[in-house]
Structure 1
Amino acid sequence: MLGVRLDSDLEERLAAVARTQGRSKSDIAREAVRRYVERHDEAFLAEAKRQSLAAALQDSRAKDEDWAAMLASPIA
């Protein structure tokens, strides 16, 4: 259960939209919160994937540099 306080202007606008659509204010608020969470959850997952790929690329480059250094060093 979640209670949310809205300023009077937003409350009136929400009530008007609810009346126009024949829905409850709670239905509209629930849909708005669901969309917000989905959008931000997707953004979070996309950023995590981006960071993971960047780290993997950096690790791959470091390994390439290690091999290059090893190949360039004289054999003892």
Structure 2
Amino acid sequence: MLGVRLDTELETRLAAVARTQGRSKSDIAREAVRRYVDLHDEAYRREARRQSTRASKRDSEEDFAFWNALAGGQGA
């Protein structure tokens, strides 16, 4: 369960869109949050894959120390 506070203008606009579409404000907010999370979660995963690929191609002690420190390990 999540409660969200909206400013008056956004609340009014959301209510108008909901009425126009015959949907609840919660349905629209849920869809918006889902799309936002999907977009940013995928961007995070792409960046993690990119960095992992880049790191796997290098074999220096400096890179190892960086990734180890990032993961909370020792040796940095």
Whether the TM-score (by the shorter chain) exceeds 0.5 is yes
The residue matched to 1:19 in structure 2 has which SS?
Answer: helix
- Structure with higher Rg: it is 1
CA RMSD, Structure 1 to Structure 2 (Å): 0.9
Hey, which of these two has a bigger chunk of helix by percent? 1
Q: TM-score, normalised by structure 1?
A: 0.76
Paired positions, count:
60
Give per-residue Cα distances to partners, 1:7-56, cap 9 Å, x unaligned: 00000000000000000000000000000000010011000000000001
Q: Percent identity?
A: 75
Structure 2: where are the runs of 5+ without partners? 61-76
Aligned to 1:31: 31
Which contiguous aligned blocks of 4+ residues in structure 1 show a shift greater than 6 angstroms?
none
Instruction: Tell me if 1:13 matches 2:16.
Output: no
Structure 1: where are the runs of 5+ without partners? 63-76
